[in-house]
Structure 1
Amino acid sequence: MEGGVLVVEDAGTGSPTARRTFGGHDVECLASDADAPARAFCGTFESGLHRTDDGGETWERVGADALPESVTSVAVSPRDPAVVYAGTEPSAVFASADGGETWRELDGLTDLPSASEWSFPPRPDTHHARWIEPDPNDPEHLYVGVEAGALVRTRDGGETWEDRVPSARRDTHSMTTHADEPGRAWTAAGDGYAETRDGGETWTHPQEGLDHRYCWSVVVDRTDPSRVLISSASGPRSAHDADRAESYLYRREGDGAWERLDEAGMPTGPGVVRAVLARGGDAGEFYAVTNRGLYRTADGGDSFDRLDVPWPDAYERQTPAGLAAVPTVER
């Protein structure tokens, strides 16, 4: 959340607990390590990248000598938890092979031909790496969404970069992949939803039923990747501004049309900022956070329950920055 991280334990039970940690920072992004559940990374806009190794009890800044102060995306490799990626503003991608201790820039990103057109509308003189998605089936393959302007790739671990392709979205906000679906990826972008089946060479845009196409967060089911959930709004103000918010949650099954989840128990519509979504550890399990609270579904989105954790009035005015679901932390 704004100004800190909320750690919720026993989230899948009827008696979760919550504690606020890492206060006083302008949080931009969050990533966790499923193989080391006590470890997480948090990127901030003005104080760099931070890491916890004890479930959020304490945090330390990492990469201060190499990373810019504005870290806008972070990802842990699903194949090797020691490999961590960080995206920054201005747009750059850095990699660590030792869990965040040392970093190197993956040069050449802004040498791509389309880079001259990249621009973040609220600050048009700059742009940033909004999302990094490592391919779970190929350690050398990495997607990077630049906000705004391009979804680009490297297929050799960052030695070289491939520019956007004509069918890719230009304003990617988030992505997801699945270890059981080589070549597939799903994107939520400001200019709509898209998916690929060939590793990003071409993208399709199934939009039937998706009435709100400023898309923010996308997840697929852990055991059934044909089930996709996405959060969206009509535009950036209705997505992010609590005073003007009106956002929705959609689900797609297989090749069918999108279904809006208005009656599933999770608040949507006026007053609700766009949800940040995370895939849970079990079939049909997803988490979602908005300014109205933290929610969980165990049946693929048919019904959501609000987690019984304290939700201060201040959170009602905030726009969540990130969400990570990890196995139970043992400390």
Structure 2
Amino acid sequence: MSDAVLLIGTRKGVVVARSGGARSSWQMNPLQLVMSSVYGVGIDQRGATPRLFAGATSEHWGPSLFHSDDLGASWQEPDQAPVAFPEATGASLARVWQIQPGPPNQPGVVYAGVEPHALFRSEDGGVTFDLVEGLYNHPHRPEWQPGNGGACLHTVVPHPTDPKRLLVALSAGGVYRTTDGGANWEAANSGIQSYWMPEDQRFPVFGQCVHKVSCHPSRPERLFAQNHFGVYRSENYGDSWTAVESGLPSTFGFPVLVHPHLPDTVYLFPLQADSERMPPGKHCRIYRSRDLGESWEPLANGLPQTNYHSAVLRDGLCTDGGEPAGIYFGTRNGEVYGSFDEGDSWQLLLDHLPDVLSVRAAVVA
């Protein structure tokens, strides 16, 4: 019988929770990697045994990437730093923001997006990584700026069938893509606005503060992006983007998620910004579109609707890919909610956690 697994990165460590196939009750392991901020977590299900990843930053020991092959019962850190800049770059790792396993046709490939802006690639299942120098040496790099969270490469979107194609997003640099395995990269931001720029400069080639990008593997050319003000869709792998914001109470937010079985269905968690960074109206609501972002509806059943001040960060919204799909989100006040009916209703699964920074989920044997 299959179990569901939640991997939760928090301000004070990583938590693993498990539930039976019904996903009605959850058992949480003790907090591990204690007193480390875990901004990036990942679950690799391509092998015989799932491998969990946690990008942890300790105020004392610094940043590193840990993995677990026993569903979080224990965590390993290689003797040599798994993610490290070559000495010649003069750069040092500040934080691992994203751990993204490659597609099934690249069984050993794992990507790590880090701060300062850089992409690393592993070919041994995430034990050792090499810098993707084509992106690191991009001529735009000197002009990339840090977002409010840092100079982070926070999104990696592997192409499901073409191993030479890959898309990334970084704050604040925008969306970039490669079609030759990472040797060369081009900006892919046409139509995405930088609202803070002078009016005649609001659509630059690069420099946008894209917060997250998501797609469905059956439609890799169709992308959705949550921007620092602006929600966008591309139908051509980033050649151009169109705003899809009708019905949203705010166009600011961090996460965006495409339903794993319904490629036209998308989820967001809007925030009032820039000054507040709280949900509009102080209501905890996920917003769902069933028509590619052309219209949006609030989902509030089971969620707190008064005096709610918390937020969901860019990697705090995820799915387990199950049948029916579980949709989960973690909040900055230590709650994790789940829905098993496409968002029509929600349940509080875990609470009293530290500040939730990242969440991933999977159904495992």
8 Å CA contact 1:278, 1:325 repeated in 2: yes
- For residues 267 and 237 of structure 1, do their structure 2 counterparts lie closer, same or farther at Cα, with a shift above 3 Å needed? farther
Following superposition, the deviation at residue 21 of structure 1 comes to 2.2
- Name the CA distance, whole Å, in 1 between partners of 2:284 and 2:171: 20
Query: What residue is the counterpart of 1:76 in the other structure?
Result: 101
Gaps of 5+ in 1: none
In the alignment, is residue 279 of structure 1 matched against residue 291 of structure 2? no
Equivalent position amino acid for 1:78 in 2:
P
- Name the CA distance, whole Å, in 1 between partners of 2:117 and 2:165: 18
8 Å CA contact 1:113, 1:163 repeated in 2: no
- Name the CA distance, whole Å, in 1 between partners of 2:115 and 2:303: 33
Tell me the alpha carbon deviations over residues 189-241 of structure 1, each in whole angstroms, 9 at most, x when there is no partner. 22321121111111111110112111211112221111111112022564379
In the alignment, is residue 323 of structure 1 matched against residue 359 of structure 2? yes
Equivalent position amino acid for 2:43 in 1:
S
Question: After the TM superposition, which segments of 4 or more aligned residues of structure 1 sit over 6 Å from their partners?
Answer: none
- For residues 224 and 66 of structure 1, do their structure 2 counterparts lie closer, same or farther at Cα, with a shift above 3 Å needed? closer
Equivalent position amino acid for 2:229 in 1:
D
8 Å CA contact 2:40, 2:55 repeated in 1: yes
Query: What residue is the counterpart of 2:70 in the other structure?
Result: 54
Query: What residue is the counterpart of 1:191 in the other structure?
Result: 229
- Name the CA distance, whole Å, in 2 between partners of 1:129 and 1:284: 28
Query: What residue is the counterpart of 2:343 in the other structure?
Result: 301
The number of residue pairs the alignment matches comes to: 318
8 Å CA contact 2:278, 2:311 repeated in 1: yes
- Name the CA distance, whole Å, in 1 between partners of 2:179 and 2:251: 29
8 Å CA contact 1:221, 1:283 repeated in 2: no
> The residue matched to 1:270 in structure 2 has which SS?
coil
8 Å CA contact 2:119, 2:136 repeated in 1: no
- Name the CA distance, whole Å, in 2 between partners of 1:182 and 1:65: 29
> The residue matched to 1:137 in structure 2 has which SS?
coil
Identify which of 185, 191, 194 aligns with 1:161.
185
> The residue matched to 1:40 in structure 2 has which SS?
strand
> The residue matched to 1:87 in structure 2 has which SS?
strand
- For residues 299 and 110 of structure 1, do their structure 2 counterparts lie closer, same or farther at Cα, with a shift above 3 Å needed? same
- For residues 130 and 154 of structure 1, do their structure 2 counterparts lie closer, same or farther at Cα, with a shift above 3 Å needed? same
Following superposition, the deviation at residue 58 of structure 1 comes to 1.4
8 Å CA contact 1:215, 1:233 repeated in 2: yes
Counting only pairs closer than 5 Å after superposition, residues 232-311 of structure 1 correspond to structure 2 as 232-235=270-273, 238-239=276-277, 248-255=285-292, 256-261=294-299, 263-267=300-304, 270-274=308-312, 276-280=316-320, 281-290=322-331, 291=333, 293-307=335-349, 309=350, 311=351
TM-score, L = length of structure 1:
0.87
Query: What residue is the counterpart of 1:14 in the other structure?
Result: 24
Q: Percent identity?
A: 27
- Name the CA distance, whole Å, in 2 between partners of 1:233 and 1:247: 10
In the alignment, is residue 225 of structure 1 matched against residue 246 of structure 2? no
- Name the CA distance, whole Å, in 2 between partners of 1:50 and 1:236: 34
8 Å CA contact 2:67, 2:76 repeated in 1: yes
> The residue matched to 1:139 in structure 2 has which SS?
coil
> The residue matched to 2:77 in structure 1 has which SS?
strand
> The residue matched to 1:109 in structure 2 has which SS?
helix
> The residue matched to 1:13 in structure 2 has which SS?
coil
Counting only pairs closer than 5 Å after superposition, residues 61-100 of structure 1 correspond to structure 2 as 61-62=77-78, 64=81, 66-67=83-84, 68-79=93-104, 80-100=106-126
Tell me the alpha carbon deviations over residues 157-197 of structure 1, each in whole angstroms, 9 at most, x when there is no partner. 21111123322462222222212113112222223211211
Equivalent position amino acid for 2:326 in 1:
E
RMSD between superposed Cα atoms in Å: 2.6
Identify which of 198, 201, 205 aligns with 2:239.
201
- For residues 191 and 84 of structure 1, do their structure 2 counterparts lie closer, same or farther at Cα, with a shift above 3 Å needed? same
- Name the CA distance, whole Å, in 2 between partners of 1:73 and 1:211: 28
Greater alpha carbon shift after TM alignment, 61-70 vs 186-195: 61-70
Following superposition, the deviation at residue 97 of structure 1 comes to 0.6
- Name the CA distance, whole Å, in 1 between partners of 2:139 and 2:335: 42
Query: What residue is the counterpart of 1:152 in the other structure?
Result: 176
- For residues 22 and 223 of structure 1, do their structure 2 counterparts lie closer, same or farther at Cα, with a shift above 3 Å needed? same
- Name the CA distance, whole Å, in 2 between partners of 1:294 and 1:100: 27
- For residues 285 and 146 of structure 1, do their structure 2 counterparts lie closer, same or farther at Cα, with a shift above 3 Å needed? same
